[in-house]
Amino acid sequence: EGTLTLTDAAGAEALAFQAQSPASLEGAWEITGYLVGSGETAAVTSPLVGTQPIVTFGPDGIVSGTAGCNQFSGGYGIEGSDITIGPLMSTLMACADDVTAQESAVMQALEGAATWSVSGTTAELRGATDTIQVTLSSLSATPFGG
């Protein structure tokens, strides 16, 4: 039932392991990098100091978060390792120009995602040409599936 128990020679429990859930994007993630630009000038950059962009993938197919100042939300769908995100909508609060540029780039990078993968407490969203669109670090991970 999802548990592996190792016993010693006397039959006493020595170690117990819980099966981990399959990798999932569901939950809250800190955006640690996002694609800026296109073509040969495209590069993955870190968020601005003092901002903490967060994206949450809900069990209901809704993705939401903040890219530094405004809130955004939209739909997402996953089929195997394929993902579609958006269109995303955002609130319209006035923000510093550099934060506004970050928000635009983050939303564009999320909407450009075509595949996803999770490794431990990190995830990558990649575009159709396998370019990294967004890198993520879990805010809701618990070690060993527990």
Question: Percentage of the chain surpassing pLDDT 90?
Answer: 78
DSSP characters for 132-145? EEEEEEESS--GGG
The pLDDT value given to residue 146: 39
The pLDDT value given to residue 17: 75
What is the pTM assigned to this prediction? 0.81
Alpha-carbon torsion (78, 57, 87, 100), positive or negative: negative
DSSP state of 10: T
The pLDDT value given to residue 142: 47
The pLDDT value given to residue 23: 79
Residues of the chain below pLDDT 70: 1-2, 19-22, 141-146
The pLDDT value given to residue 145: 41
Cα gap 106→99, rounded to integer Å = 10
The pLDDT value given to residue 1: 63
The pLDDT value given to residue 46: 97
The pLDDT value given to residue 143: 44
